[in-house]
């Protein structure tokens, strides 16, 4: 019971960090946080649906596709994580206004919060959803690593988003991916080093 409470608390913290980074800093500039973020931006652009609900729809759709591969318990925690993240995005978009913005500052700060949030989720074995689920399914079918299909899917969605909205989005998205994945690795390594037994 205690482990479940702690895990739930860390999932909440990870979701809030993700939502803060995306809702306050990345999405106002239409910078995708990943493949799912790019699809959510396109839904927002075409249908004028707010980013929080749009991202939830995308993440939940991929989760439904992958539940058989992920397992019910993993899928349940992922569902909780993506739902909390979407609520956080909606809350921050609705209640926080930044008047003087600088796109590079926002990109760096948003990507750091995004990476911290995803890394926190990964520490407790929870996926942040998105196209990672699809990449995992492809890797299982082909008996290969998921990194290459994930990169191809994300870049394809980034290109689509850039072609429709603005080409600078593609390069901003790649920079955001590099920063956030570096932070994810740092958070995960920090957890591994602090949780390992010492002599």
Domain extents in the chain: 2-192
The Cα–Cα gap between 199 and 197 comes to 7
- Give me the numbers of helices (H) and strands (E) for the chain, helices first please: 8, 0
DSSP 27: G
CA nearest to 130, candidates 180, 182, 187:
180
pLDDT tens digit sequence for 116-162: 999 898 888 787 888 877 877 777 778 776 667 777 888 899 999 99
pTM of the model: 0.86
Contact 81, 121 (CB under 8 A): yes
The Cα–Cα gap between 106 and 46 comes to 24
pLDDT tens digit sequence for 88-127: 999 999 999 888 889 999 999 999 999 999 989 888 878 7
Q: What is the largest CA-CA distance in the chain?
A: 58
């Amino acid at each position: 019971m205690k482990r479940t409470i702690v895990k739930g608390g860390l999932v909440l913290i990870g979701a809030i960090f993700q939502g803060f980074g995306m809702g306050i800093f990345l999405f106002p500039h239409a910078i995708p946080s990943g493949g799912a973020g790019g699809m959510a931006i396109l839904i927002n652009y075409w249908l004028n649906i707010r980013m929080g609900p749009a991202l939830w729809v995308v993440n939940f759709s991929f989760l439904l596709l992958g539940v058989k591969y992920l397992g019910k318990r993993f899928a349940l925690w992922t569902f909780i994580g993506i739902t909390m993240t979407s609520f956080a995005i909606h809350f921050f978009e609705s209640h926080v206004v930044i008047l003087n913005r600088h796109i590079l500052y926002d990109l760096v700060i948003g990507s750091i919060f995004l990476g911290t949030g995803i890394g926190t989720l990964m520490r407790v074995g929870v996926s942040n959803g998105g196209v990672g689920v699809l990449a995992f399914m492809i890797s299982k079918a082909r008996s290969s690593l998921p990194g290459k299909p994930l990169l191809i899917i994300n870049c394809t969605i980034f290109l689509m988003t850039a072609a429709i909205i603005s080409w600078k989005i593609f390069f901003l998205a790649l920079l955001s991916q590099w920063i956030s994945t570096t932070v994810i690795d740092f958070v995960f390594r920090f957890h591994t080093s602090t949780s390992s037994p010492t002599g």
